[in-house]
A and B are shown apart, each in its own frame.
Chain A
């Protein structure tokens, strides 16, 4: 059942005759999933940085 359907790696990458349709879709999928992950990480970092700055401000205020 598990048999590589293409003769060579080049044939796999060409995926004749529809390589031009299949590969960009998967690349876009990767970009969107990766982009969302990156966005979440950035938002998280920004939120933490905001809290940090606030903490520093409180400390200088106290001293």
Chain B
């Protein structure tokens, strides 16, 4: 009985009904946090004395870049759950996160590049963080491509699970090797020296936005998962009941 909280995740119907409620809460919470955080960051946080107003991009860039990486880790957790407990919902989550994660990775790449133009004077620099983010986007793309190529959803899910696990073992190696590669080729001149202390008036809105984007990601992933669950379970009686009632 104490494992009930875990086993109920095996029921797509239970998830579908609960997730609808969670999604609603997450959606409104994220909207409020993001509006507050973004307006605060854009209008009320003090101007950076070195970068000027262009630094205000970080209120979008930093949370999104965090999420892009966290979501890959979340997929790895889902892959472990899929292989250990054969829980199909974990595969649904993996599929939902892959698409959302790719969108966040692309957003973080673009926002990083646009921030680089006024700061470094060019859109693209082979900086360690930009480069590993680019590799991450290729990893996400590979997952989506692999899933699209395999017809049977169960088989596709397992193949993606293997790929995610291999990828997550490699990701730290990729990150460190890219950092090392960066020191190999470039003197530290291009590196943006992060100021040791950011005043609270700057980091509080950043924190609000980080929280907001995390909850927004949860909202998006839950929404995508619900749609996938309905699609995969379309022959189950509870789905027919649900649609018939509506």
B110 touches A47 (CB 8 A): no
Determine if B153 is an interface residue (Cβ-Cβ < 8 Å): no
Determine if B168 is an interface residue (Cβ-Cβ < 8 Å): no
Q: In whole angstroms, how far apart are the Cα atoms of A51 and B228 in the complex?
A: 13
What distance in Å separates the Cβ of B163 from its nearest Cβ neighbour in chain A?
A: 22
Give how many A-B residue pairs fall within 8 Å (CB-CB).
108
Name the B residues within 8 Å of A60 (CB-CB): none
A51 and B230 in contact (CB under 8 A), knowing A28-B110, A36-B100, A36-B220?
yes
A29 touches B46 (CB 8 A): no
Interface stretch (choices B5-13, B37-45, B69-77, B144-152): B37-45
Q: In whole angstroms, how far apart are the Cα atoms of A12 and B61 in the complex?
A: 20
Instruction: Please name the residue on chain A nearest to B236 by beta carbon.
Output: A51
Give the residue of B61, B100, B201, B227 whose beta carbon is less than 8 angstroms from that of A1. Answer: B201
Q: Mark B78-119, 1 if CB is under 8 A from A, else 0.
A: 000000000000000000000110011011001100110110
B220 touches A33 (CB 8 A): yes
Of residues 1 to 27 in A, which have CB atoms within 8 Å of B's CB atoms?
Answer: 1-6, 12, 15-19, 21-22, 24-26
